[in-house]
Copies of this chain bind each other. A is one copy, B any other.
């Protein structure tokens, strides 16, 4: 067989949840799309919520795993001063973009799905998700603090927030109807890394006034 009932359910659920939200999609929608019986969901997963968890784990785990691996490699290869800002950001931003371009439709869906979770899922599921990501975020924040000894810690964390938001927005944009061609996707990634690296390396706020620099 091409794929098992369980996998077909996961595929359909991932696609439909991502495109249209968690609550808008019924088990009937999913089972119809997957070409399986309605009762199969409860047989294989137990409930709609348990199905959502299974979808999440399958989709998200590989990206975070890859980010950790890449940072490990960077740190083992770098010298006393640790990896450079650009390299760190490349390791952080690369995997989601790679997932996007390599996995075709499935890759970009990952980010829509994150958005759906963030706005709709119950706290328990959000926590499961957040805990995984926080581990990654902490590792990267520490690496960046080391690479930027002149920027204070709370400022590094704020900037990491900005980078995350910028990345999510770029992904959402690319997943619109029409989408992005492969070379546009590459440009987007490089632009983002550059934008983030320059922003991260900025001096702290007090150095320059934000006004009166016209002409």
Contact = CB atoms under 8 A, between A and B. Distances in A.
Interface of A: 20-21, 23-24, 78-79, 81, 83-84, 86-87, 90, 112, 115-116, 118-120, 154-155, 158-159, 161-170, 172-173, 187-188, 190-202, 205, 208, 210-211, 213-215
A151 to B, nearest CB: 10
Copies in the assembly, this chain: 2
Given A23-B24, A112-B119, A195-B199, 6 more contacts: A79-B215, A119-B120, A162-B196, A191-B205, A195-B200, A198-B199
Interface residues of chain A: helix, strand, loop or mixed (majority): helix
Contacts of A197: 210
Given A120-B21, A120-B120, A210 B198 contact: no
Contact of A161 (B23, B169, B190): B169
A87 B211 contact: yes
B166 A161 contact: yes
